Amino acid sequence: MTWNNQAPTVQLLGRYQPWHPGHTELFKRAHAKTGQVMIMVRDTGGTDEKNPFDYSFVKEKIIKDLEAEGFKFKHDFLVNLVSNIVNITYGRDVGYTIEKEDFDKEILKISATNIRKEMGV
């Protein structure tokens, strides 16, 4: 089976600077909802010290990490570059839900800032 654009899909939108285990846990929850996830990477690479990684690096890391967890690119997930989206707005019932997931303290304390420091970036 391959990606189905008309199937119900969960969207993850972020900078992923870099993709880390907290993102993987969020992905797992998203995938459990519909079986496929569209990961949208905001085009922020190189804009400042919080965004050192370009899209190619981010995409490769996402694919590598999720495939190591048993998920298949172009089946369970896609990764796309999108504009630097900073607001999502809607006016009335539009047929989708915006949800915030809650995680335990171990996941919540994962910091991309600290990971970048450990990477020397």
- 58-86, pLDDT tens digit by residue? 999 999 999 999 999 999 999 999 999 99
Tell me whether residue 86 is in a domain: yes
Angle at 80 between CA 111 and CA 112, to 5 degrees: 5
Tell me the HSE value of 121 on the side-chain side, using a 13 A CA sphere: 17
Q: How far apart are CA 12 and CA 23, in angstroms?
A: 9
Tell me whether residue 32 is in a domain: yes
Instruction: Identify the domain containing residue 103 by its residue range.
Output: 10-118
Residues in Cβ contact with 66 at an 8 Å cutoff, skipping those fewer than 6 apart? 24, 27, 73, 76, 77
At residue 1, does pLDDT exceed 90? no
pTM across the whole model: 0.93
Tell me whether residue 88 is in a domain: yes
Instruction: Name the average pLDDT for the chain.
Output: 96
Kindly report the CATH number assigned to the domain that includes residue 63: 3.40.50.620
pLDDT value, residue 106: 95
Count the domains in the chain. 1
Q: How far apart are CA 19 and CA 39, in angstroms?
A: 11
pLDDT value, residue 92: 85
Tell me whether residue 3 is in a domain: no
